[in-house]
Amino acid sequence: MAPHANDESGNAGGMSMHESSTPAGFTVQSPNVKYSDADITSKYTYRTTDVSFANGGFSAAPKETVYDFKTERKVGKVGVMLVGWGGNNGTTVTAGILANRRKLEWETREGLRAANYYGSVVMSSTVKLGTDTKTGKDVNIPLQSLLPMAHPNDLTIGGWDISGMDLAAAMDRAQVLEPTLKSLVRKEMVSMKPLPSIYYPDFIAANQEDRADNVIAGSKASMEHVEHLRKDIRDFKSANGLDKVIVLWTANTERYADLVPGVNDTADNMMKAIADGHPEIAPSTVFAVACILESAPFINGSPQNTFVPGCIQLAEKHGAFLGGDDFKSGQTKMKSALVDFMINAGIKLTSIASYNHLGNNDGKNLSSQKQFRSKEISKSNVVDDMVAANNVLYKEGEHPDHTVVIKYMPAVGDNKRALDEYYAEIFLGGHQTISMFNVCEDSLLASPLIIDLVLIAELFTRVQWRKNGEQDWKSFHSVLSVLSYMLKAPLTPPGTPVVNALAKQRSALINIMKACVGLEPENDMTLEHKLF
C-alpha cells in the first residue's frame, strides 16, 4: 500500500482517512460465479446432515440446499463512531490507524518498531485458497483478499465520551503507547475531541463520576437522547461525506439491566419505556436504538445485556444490524482454544479457576460489584457449548466448576495479569492440571478486534442471499453472529445455538465468505496426498 503524503482532520469530532489500495485479488473460474462491475454473485450448494432418532438409534441423511449470494463490490467511504472514544481502546485504535496510515516507525528500548495490524484476523491472517496444480502445495492468501473489504487506513473515526479530554490528552491518561509513538501522532490527536455522551450514573460505577464532564443533559433514558444521538450520526456522516457509519461501544461496562415484562420485552414496550424515562433502560441500549433507527450497525464490545429482547425485535423490524457482546481478546480467547482442545481430546475438564488483576479504567469500573457481575457472566459462559457437545464426558446437567475473579490493581495499568488453572480427569481416575500465566496488554489486544468487527460488519451490509429459485434478495439476520470470533458472549438470533468454540467461529466466518465467491469450505482431508 502506498504511503499517504498528508493527514487530514475530519469534521464532527472525526478523523478522516484517504483512499488506499486493496490487496491483490483472484478470480473464480466457475459457471456458478458471475462478476459484474457492481456485484459478485454465486450459486452455492450447502451440504448438511439431518439426524433423527427412532427405534433406539440415530438415522443420518445428507441434505443439500442451494443458495445464491450477491456481494456488492463497491465499498464506499466508511466511518466508525466509538462510544468511549477517549478511553484506552478508543485512543489506541485511533493512534494505531494513524501510525499504519503513515507507515510510522519509532524507537523503543528494545529497538525500532513499525506500525502493523498484528492481532487483526482480517488484516494479519491468511486462508487456504486451494492447491497449486503444478507443485501440489497449498496456496494461502490474506483473509482480506477473499471479498472486497474496507481497509482500516481509510476509515473516518469519531465518537462520543463522557470525558471531554482531547484524544492526545486521553492517550496520555491511558498509558498504553510508547512515548516516541505518541509524539508522532500527537499533533493530529490533539485536534480530536469526543462528542458529549449520555451518562446514567446508576449503570456504571460511582468511581467514574469524576470523568463525566462531557455529558448530554439528563440522567435517564429519553427520546430526546435518542434523537440527539441520531443527529450526531447524521451530522458525522454528512460532514465527512460517508456512505455508511458503523457504531461500536467500547465504553465502560454497565450493570445488567433487569428484564421487566412490559418494559424491555418487546420493541413497542421498550420505545415507550424510553419515552417514559424508565430506570431499566441502559445508556448502551439508547445508543443501540439510535443506531437501529439510523440504519447504522451497532456492535457492543462490553459484557452488559445491551440487546434486551425489545432491542433485538426493533432491529429485526428495521432490518438493522447488531453484534455483541464483549471483546474476546486475551485470557478468554486462550480459554476458548484450550477447553476446545481438551474436550475434543477426550479429557474431562472438571474445574476452571480464572483470576485477573488489572489497573486500567476498565478495572477501576469493574471493582464495583454490579459491573463485575456483567463481566463474570460473559467470561463464565464461554465453555458451555463445548461441554454440551460431548455427552460421553458430561452427562446431562454436568458442567465443570468455573469461577472468575477480577481485582483492580492500579500499579499494573493496562498490562492485565491473568492466571488460570484447568483441572481435569484423565485415564483410570488420574488427573491433569494445567496452570497458565498470561500478561495481556489489554488495549493492544482489543484494538485489532475493534477493527475486525467494523470491517466484517461493513462487509455484511453489502452481502445478500436467497434460496435458489427465489426472486427476492434478503440481508443476513439482524444479529450478525459471524462476528462471534471476536466476542466473549456471542449474540445469536433468538432460538439459535450459541457457538463459543474458537475454531468453529473462525471456520464459519471464512466459509461464508468463500460461499460468496462459490468456493468450497476449507477441507483438511488432503486426499490427494493420501490415496496415491
Helix (H, G, I), strand (E, B) or coil at 211: helix
C-alpha span between 318 and 93 (Å, rounded): 30
Q: What is the distance between the alpha carbons of residues 387 and 208, in angstroms, rounded to a whole number?
A: 38
3-class state of residue 238 by DSSP: helix
- The active-site residue out of 161, 325, 326, 420 is 326
* Pairing verdict, β 322-324 and 298-300: parallel
* 3-state secondary structure at position 40: strand
- The C-alpha angle 8, 11, 15, rounded to 5 degrees, equals 45
d(CA 61, CA 236): 52
Q: Which of 416, 420, 452, 514 is catalytic?
A: 416
Confirm whether 375 is a catalytic residue.
Answer: yes
Residue 328 near residue 487 (C-beta atoms within 8 A): yes
Instruction: Return the H-helix or E-strand segment holding 508.
Output: helix 502-515
Residue matched to cell numbers 485470557? 331
Question: In 436-501, which residue ranges form alpha helices assigned H by DSSP?
Answer: 442-460
Helix (H, G, I), strand (E, B) or coil at 36: coil
- Active-site pick, 375, 379, 442, 452: 375
177-191 per-residue burial string, b: 16 or more CB within 10 A, e: under 16: beeebbebbbebbee
What is the CB-side half-sphere exposure of residue 306 using CA atoms within 13 A? 35
Tell me which residue of 165, 166, 119, 146 sits closest to 9, measured CA to CA. 166
Query: Crossing angle, helix 223-239 and helix 267-276, to 10 degrees?
Result: 100
Distance in angstroms (rounded) separating the CA atoms of residues 23 and 349: 43
Q: Does the active-site annotation cover 326?
A: yes
Taking a C-beta distance cutoff of 8 angstroms, is the pair 215, 197 a contact? Answer: yes
Helix, strand, or coil here: 126? strand
d(CA 143, CA 149): 10
Residues noted as catalytic: 326, 375, 416, 488
